Amino acid sequence: MPKPKLTDEQKSALRAELRNRLKRGQPQADIKRALAESFKVSPESIRWYLKQASAGRGAANGRKQSKGKVRGAGRRAKTGAKGIRRTGGRQPRLIAALQTLPESTLKRILAAKRLQPRLDAERERATALRAELRDTERRARRLERKVARLLAT
């Protein structure tokens, strides 16, 4: 049987709690998990509320505004005194995504990144050795044909 739907009061309380947690900078995965448990709904349902809350102004119903209606669309972010671009208080998506990853995963990613040049060098070496092996086999076949011709006559 499906879970019961939220009442209007519960929905407004959920949205308020969601906004508060987003302002505090909690990772979205933690927010989804905690709110799904406390409001007894699926994390997928919380995902929809999260999309609505993070859509920003002018998108209260979850739909994006067209570029023509957005004020200041296409403008570049202003550069501060130190030459650093300001993002209007919003974190770039990459940083937000990295903050949701566990530390062990980040360590593994960085370890893999450090090993990547060695892997590339070994692959190049293997490719060169394969080419050298093909050349050597070609020369060996040529010599075998010569020996066979000499013995046949």
Q: Please tell me the predicted confidence (pLDDT) of residue 58.
A: 46
> Is-contact 47 32, C-beta < 8 A?
yes
- 82 pLDDT band (50/70/90 cuts)? low
pLDDT of amino acid 141 = 97
Rounded Cα distance, 104 and 107, in Å: 5
Which tens digits make up the pLDDT trace of 98-146?
A: 788 888 999 999 999 999 999 999 999 999 999 999 999 999 999 999 9
Distance CA 58, CA 52 (A): 11
Q: Give pLDDT tens digits for 30-57.
A: 888 888 888 888 888 888 888 887 776 4
Query: Residue 71 pLDDT > 70, yes or no?
Result: no
76 vs 148, more confident: 148
Burial degree of 46 (CB within 10 A; 0-12, 13-18, 19+): buried
Task: Decide if 106 contacts 98 (C-beta within 8 A).
Answer: yes
